[in-house]
Amino acid sequence: MRLHRNLCFAVIDGLMLIFNEDQYADKVIQQLLKRDKRWGARDRAFVAETTYDIVRWKRLYAEIAEVKEPFTRDNIWRMFAVWATLKGIKLPDWTYFESTPTRKIKGKFDELSKIRKFKESIPDWLDELGEKELGTDVWTKEIAALNEQADVILRVNTLKTTKEALQAVLFDQDIETDFLPNYPDALKLKERANVFQTDAFKDGHFEVQDASSQLVAKFLNVEPGMRVVDACAGAGGKALHIAALMQNKGQVIAMDIYENKLHELKRRAKRNGVFNVEIRPIESTKVIKKLYDKADRVLIDAPCSGLGVLRRNPDAKWKLQPEFIDKIKITQQEILQQYSRMVKPGGQLVYATCSILPSENQNQVKAFLDSENGKDFTFVKEEKVLSHKSGFDGFYMALLQKK
């Protein structure tokens, strides 16, 4: 591979913003990709994937390059040189790469690869927490899996098409996909492609949604005609899936404290041909209280550490703080206590997170069931999805039945 100066400059500029100005990697990359209209798909892929790669391995590369935060521009060039060397890419004779100690880089990489927190490039506190909650063996396998690049998975919108029909349409546009056993609505891209440019996407025939996330709506046991509440709906990936499973019949009430996310859901619903979703911003507890004992199903896709989705958000490793996890666990229990009251007798509740930590998952469910509000519920089943076993995002879901 030959390095092109303008593409490398884009990567360095992006990393300065992500590392030193605390900007979100996905937003920075979106901006970078608009930088030069002449860039082809390969150029854009280089910028996006290289930036994500260096974000993912920040601690390891910084340690090999012997640089410390806050990084200067020269520091980031040194980290870039480490990335290129480890990828086997020949460094051009640019001033930034003068005196790059190629052999020393490889030796240091071998040495640091024996220590998990460097090998997997994670903060000390996160390494300790993962080991404490999951045990050495599981944590070692899981953090390695969470450092792999995520596949692109589509969820077929069954209100408009079938998996077979969509696969054929995409194949005609040189986008090859595979079916995934045990994920009835999923197609996996064989190679990364900009699927958002396709007519099939613009016509609402699919959404991009990880395979693990697609399990949640199914877990809720919805049927056409029900009243279902998605209590932390966000931009609505799961609400749209629920609506499709209900064949557009009945009512899906999508709620969130962030109104702007619900507007995005409204836009997506229109594209998907979904018309049984109603959005309700949670401006006060009144919105929840109005629905006490009224819902057949309630989904609580709770805010969490997001440790299960590090493959697609590698910068979260550096933004996440232990204090945040402590705080979010209090929020999770409060939401469970309050929102569970919307389930009517005989109805069901699913508590889900995209975390792999038992303290955010089964421990929260147990604490709820041991509480005053929880005594009205019985535990039905749970599913713990780990990346190293599934090949997809880490997830948790528990199904509870109201007496």
Catalytic residue numbers read 354
Q: How far apart are CA 246 and CA 227, in angstroms?
A: 10
Q: Please answer whether residues 299 and 277 qualify as being in contact, where contact means their C-beta atoms are separated by less than 8 angstroms.
A: no
The strands making up 277-281's β-sheet, listed across from edge to edge, are: 277-281, 251-256, 227-230, 295-301, 343-353, 395-402, 377-385
| Number of Cα atoms under 13 Å in the Cβ half of residue 296 | 14
Residue 248: both structure tokens together: 């557009």
Phi, psi of 365 (to 5 degrees): -65, -45
Query: Torsion-angle region of residue 307: left (phi > 0), alpha (psi -120 to 50) or beta?
Result: alpha
**Contact residues for 44 (Cβ-Cβ < 8 A; gap 6+):** 33
Q: Please answer whether residues 271 and 265 qualify as being in contact, where contact means their C-beta atoms are separated by less than 8 angstroms.
A: no
Q: How far apart are CA 355 and CA 302, in angstroms?
A: 10
Q: Find the DSSP H helices in 246-382.
A: 259-272, 285-289, 316-319, 322-339, 362-369
Q: How far apart are CA 189 and CA 176, in angstroms?
A: 6
Q: Find the DSSP H helices in 135-223.
A: 136-146, 163-172, 199-202, 214-219
Burial 14-32 (b: 16+ CB within 10 A, else e): bbbbbbeeeeebeebbeeb
